[in-house]
Amino acid sequence: MNLNIAITGLHATDNPAPGIGVIRCLLHDENWNGKIIGLGYDVYDTGIYDKGLLDHTYLIPYPNQGVDQLLERIQYIHHHIPIDVIIPTLDSELAIFQRIKQNLKDMGISMFIPSKEIVNKRSKQNLVSFCEEAKISTPKTVVIHEQGQFQKAIDEIGFPLFVKGVFYDAYKCKNISDTSHYFDEFRKKWGFPVLLQKPVNGKEYNVCCVGGVDGELLGSVAIRKVGLTDKGKAWSAITIRNEKLTEFSKKILKKLKWNGPCELEIMVEERTGELFLLEINPRFPAWIYLCTGADQNLPKLVVDLALGKKVSALPLAKSGITFVRHATDMVCPLDYIENLTIKGELHY
């Protein structure tokens, strides 16, 4: 592959963004012969200093700075290093990349991401209605849009319950005092809606999927998390082969017509064996590099789809492949930081 591919989401601390994993997948391809352009938001985004993975690094404006600034910056980068494909890997930037998708296409830059309408269907506040419509099981959830609905929602769900913010995080609560505390915390942080959800007793599995143009499942890797950080993020995991999970994933992607990468969070209820969809993350997971060990290079598949290549569904992923995340330190000279601070770019 002789391509220039730009990737976002390069800040990799104890809750790593997926970008570095995506890059490692692309470099893993034996036919890889391109350049990797890292798109960072901050001088101290950790991954932008990994000269073993990146060829060029550019800082780009945060999504809240608007479409024009982002487009202008990408035009500048594209003028110096022509970009073939951009892979956005963060939830928070998906909306702005959707808005400039056509502008990028006109510039000769491809992406393979689902539309705003499709992404909105799986948002936390819309997931229940999507699941009802598509006949997909999901835990009982009440979406609270105003303070007055709080008590009624508790009565409806009962204890224990999860309080969930509209963007991130969930806390399990056994009483009214804990529930009020986290409800207020989410309300102050992100505003309404706040969600209350009934827990499902069972095992959680995560499935990284890539949906094709019509939402057909082209590749999927399912894992069980083995080690978790205190934030509940996977620190180690093992791939599994489970037909029920694959069929469930197929159904979800098809019903959504999901075209692009995503991560499904699924609970298998211990008592009944029933599958419940917890969440759909509209991007690759941070553990995506594991997919190469399972013989499914899903980022490469997304690049092929972005370029409009005809692709077939990948063979089933290998089970029993494990990853263990290992933190390391990178050492770099002062001029790396100087270049990024002064010019907003760095070339290795």
Q: Which is nearer to other proteins, 54 or 317 (CB)?
A: 317
Q: Does 203 bind other proteins (CB under 8 A)?
A: yes
Question: Which is nearest to 298 in space by CA: 279, 285, 282?
Answer: 285
Asked if 242 interacts with other proteins (CB under 8 A), we say yes
Cα 180 to Cα 173: distance, rounded to the nearest angstrom: 9
- What CA–CA distances, in Å, run from 160 to 113, 136, 156, 163, 196? 37, 23, 12, 10, 10
Binding mask 308-337 for other proteins (x = CB under 8 A): -----------xx-----------------
Q: What angle do CA 5, 13, 23 make, to 5 degrees?
A: 20
Minimum distance from CB of 210 to other proteins (Å)? 21
Instruction: Establish if 160 lies at the interface with other proteins (CB under 8 A).
Output: no
Order the strands of the 322-324 sheet from edge to edge: 275-281, 260-269, 202-211, 217-228, 234-240, 322-324
Distances from the Cα of 130 to the Cα of 40, 120, 206, 330, angstroms:
34, 10, 19, 44
Tell me the longest C-alpha to C-alpha distance in the chain: 59
Shortest distance in whole angstroms from residue 300 CB to other proteins: 24
272 forms part of the interface with other proteins (CB under 8 A) = no
Query: Which of these segments, 120-128, 167-175, 218-226, 331-339, binds other proteins (CB under 8 A)?
Result: 218-226
Q: Calculate helix-pair angle for 176-190, 150-157, nearest 10 degrees.
A: 130
Select the span of 45-53, 178-186, 222-230, 284-292 touching other proteins (CB under 8 A): 222-230
- Tell me whether residue 273 or residue 333 sits nearer to other proteins (CB atom): 273
Interacting span for other proteins (CB under 8 A) from 23-31, 154-162, 180-188, 237-245: 237-245
Of 116 and 244, nearer to other proteins (C-beta) is 244
Give the range of 63-71, 177-185, 235-243, 255-263 binding other proteins by CB under 8 A. Answer: 235-243
Tokens of 209: 């999927």
